[in-house]
Structure 1
């Protein structure tokens, strides 16, 4: 129930706050300040221009008194229509409001405007109302945590409860993050100059975090903070291999720069969080170790390696033991759970790059999301882009392509091939396609007894052996185009391709 209008005695000191306490009858009174709410509403009706100062932070639901929240909502509604919001224009909107009737009807609105001195403290009142709303929400979340933890009548899943509690707490925190969205031109210009300085010191091609590939760095300038980068391709093209190579290179560069005494903020590398929804952590580690020790990855999985190769493998494992690369191989993650875990890793390990393998294995927030997969994918891509901006890190997300690629003569991927939702293209800052003609050419092998055809096929196979391409199909910050690479299959490694370079011998 709303309190009576504030006193007409001029005062700009925020009214006292009602703290959490138990009153007669055992009823709990949550933190609130009804006098501040009334004073703010009065100030807004006296000077509608104040709405612009509070509307980005304060919402109707932040008011402890429901009637005050409805009055504020109608104030915003009239203001948005360009109409004056006064007791007179608000009166028809509350003629039938029972809570208003209990306080004397629309005359209550006029009473709110009696304290003109409240104009001087309107912003302070708004901030206090908002802060108290956050406290009430924290209390609600805390009560739910206690209730959930105390309920042993169903399956006990403490880790899931902890993650749910973290998500709830972050939702409370996110409610106030709009203030961080405003940045002066001076601050923005300083960041731009620092980025240009990093690019200059790197030799003129790397302003973000390194991908480990010179050609890709030159085309993109590296991986930039707050960017969502989609790395897509059909199965067997090497998406996971390329993502693993990039993640390793970024983490290794950070570790090397740290040893050289370079400050973390000036490094071209960063700690990496790799969310692998398809492969296990040990499988990813095997790929990295095979690449670094130059041991055939297939032979390594099957145990067919020599003592000398095993020694190289063990040495590589020892050298990379402190690599700032963390792997989360939890299957079936939701986008909300992934964001929660990424925030936690940002706090604990200071991660600067998030890799997700792969997009379509994430789930949306609704359990029935598969009924509308397009909407679910849209929620996931928006969540990943929000995560990139929130943590100020690049997010590299792998994505499958539709089978439409297989039905064309030219198998090179196009933006239209992005699977299930156009929002993948819309929400991303960069879209990369991995393409290996060698793979498709291998499927066209003619009968060896057809000498001419087989000879021509073999000639082309030798020419394209090991050739890979990364197609930059979309880039907000620069031009599109193709970056030629070499794919060394036995080590699951991508490397820059020199003129006339071959990935090895096909036979």
Structure 2
């Protein structure tokens, strides 16, 4: 053992009288090999989960490596140390020096698979012990029938025998068939999230793992779209939602949220000049707002992919994993490495990182994006995004907001007060559809179009 076998901040698991089966050397070797080789990471992601590691610090390091690898190929003790520092876990796992110690513990990366197999076997033995302990505890409690305890214990032991800590992959058609039949019977994907706009729901579904990009020119309504969508998920469906805003502070976000939900004029809310009628409306949403503990508005400075990922992990640790993320807006997100690339390259990495994050957390991520200046005065296209064309390539769904203004740029034309949602890309449905909505900027919301 060395000085880093007991990293401060993480307690040992409850081992009763004897330590549970584990192999520190194998765990260190696997983690060190992952810090040295991307090929090893690919192999370990396919065969291990963090739960296979005995030491909690090693579980955290494994998650940090695989999470960072999902958005960057630059994996080494320094980049992983920076990732752990951003989540507040670096000191807990033993500091940067322990990451370097892991590298020095590697005899050769060629042995990583063998050492991973040792980790899996030890994890399986721990699972057998834990299953046996659960059965024994139920038997001592004498609250269940012996046959029931035995049946459950056999199921637990069978699960342990299949390999505790190994990534459970259900990729076969036979594995997917029952769930697919359930979707057909229900008439929709039960995991999909709808929007507040009925006509749009006929064309677009927001599914887990999707990157959905909503583009608009300045003042085109993308922030309204994002906030309205997030509040729909949080308030109507009672599911946790995260808005990561790089454009507005918390006070501005709250003003827009209250304007939309209470129907109070946004300008009066911003200037804090409410009349008695306004106050009556605000009071009506008091309970709604006061109990919205799972509706997170993150206005942290210089938001990056790692900061959003850390916020999602925090929400999950609180027992309320996010059902949707709205990032406002993509081109304002900070770069992870702090420079060295042009902005188009940075935005491309951010776009790809959001897509990977959506798949990692199995939720839709809605990224709001700004058009370039060339889109002014005409109907926008999917190629109009500022700074990077990769946004178009990475997205599952692209929706473009277009306000049909008068020739002088004012909202006084024949379609005054309207905004078109152009479905420019839709991998799971029709492209090219145009959905008109009502632009109610004074209430910070987009409303369903009332058909005559």
TM-score range, shorter chain: 0.5 to 0.7
Shift of 1:477: 0.5
Q: CA deviation digits over 1:346-402, x for unaligned, max 9? A: 332221111111111112221114x32222112111111111111111100111111
Q: Does 1:361 align with 2:332?
A: yes
| 170, 176, 185: which one aligns with 2:173 | 185
Aligned residue pairs total 336
Distance 2:427 2:420 in 1: 20
Aligned ranges for residues 97-496 of structure 1 at < 5 Å? 161=85, 163=87, 165=89, 179-180=167-168, 183-199=171-187, 208-220=192-204, 222-255=205-238, 270-323=239-292, 324-348=294-318, 349-369=320-340, 371-406=341-376, 411-438=378-405, 441-443=407-409, 461=413, 463-480=414-431, 481-496=433-448
Q: Post-superposition shift, 1:317? A: 2.7
SS in 1 for 2:220: coil
The offset of 1:246, in angstroms, is: 0.7
Across the aligned residues of Structure 1 and Structure 2, the Cα RMSD in angstroms comes to: 4.0
The secondary structure found in structure 1 opposite 2:285 is helix
Deviation at 1:321, TM superposition (A): 1.9
Q: Is the 8 A contact 1:333 1:362 kept in 2?
A: yes
User: What do the CA deviations read for 1:59-78 (whole angstroms, capped 9, x no partner)?
Assistant: 99269xx9xx9xx99xx9xx
Q: Distance in 2 between matches of 1:343 and 1:309?
A: 38
- Counterparts of 1:193 and 1:374, CA distance in 2: 43
1:61 aligned residue (16, 33, 42): 33
Q: Take 2:182 and 2:90, find their aligned partners in 1: how far apart are those partners?
A: 34
Residues 37-116 of structure 1 correspond to what in structure 2 (within 5 A)?
Answer: 61=33
More helix per residue: 1 or 2?
Answer: 1
1:464-489 CA distance string (max 9 Å, x none) = 11111111100110111111111112
Q: Secondary structure at the match of 1:484?
A: strand
Query: Could you tell me which residue of structure 2 aligns to residue 32 of structure 1?
Result: 25
- When residues 31 and 318 of structure 1 are mapped into structure 2, their CA distance, relative to the original with a 3 A threshold, is closer
CA contact (8 A) 1:281 1:328 kept: yes
Work out the CA distance in 2 between the residues paired with 1:33 and 1:236.
56
Give a deviation string over 1:221-273, Cα, whole Å, max 9, x none.
x3111111001111000100111111111112223xxxxxxxxxxxxxx3101
Q: Is the 8 A contact 2:211 2:394 kept in 1?
A: yes
- Residue 167 of structure 1 contacts residue 337 of structure 1 at CA under 8 Å; is this kept in 2? no
Shift, 1:194, TM fit = 3.8
Determine helix, strand or coil for the equivalent of 2:429. Answer: coil
Give 5+ residue unaligned stretches, structure 2.
Answer: 4-22, 63-82, 94-98, 100-112, 117-164
SS at match of 1:32: helix
The answer (yes or no) to whether the contact 1:31–1:135 under 8 Å persists in 2 is no
Cα distance change of structure 1 residues 136 and 233 upon mapping to structure 2, 3 Å threshold: closer
Q: How far 1:166 sits from its partner (Å)? A: 7.0
Q: Is the 8 A contact 2:170 2:176 kept in 1?
A: no
Comparing 283-292 and 184-193, the one that deviates more: 184-193
Q: Give the unaligned 5+ runs of structure 1.
A: 1-19, 23-29, 38-57, 77-122, 142-158, 256-269, 446-457, 501-507
- The change in CA–CA distance for 1:206 and 1:181 in structure 2 (over 3 A counts) is closer
Does the residue aligned with 1:165 lie in a helix, a strand or coil? coil
> Which position in structure 1 is the counterpart of 2:103?
none
**Cα gap change, 1:133 to 1:197, in 2 (>3 Å):** same
Name the CA shift for 1:466/1:164 in 2 (closer, same or farther; >3 Å).
Answer: same
What displacement does 1:199 show? Answer: 3.9
Whether the 8 Å contact between 2:215 and 2:370 is mirrored in structure 1 is yes
Any conservation in 1 of the 2:327–2:366 contact (CA below 8 Å)? yes
Per-residue Cα deviation, 1:324-363 (whole angstroms, up to 9, x for no partner): 3111110211212221222221332221111111111112
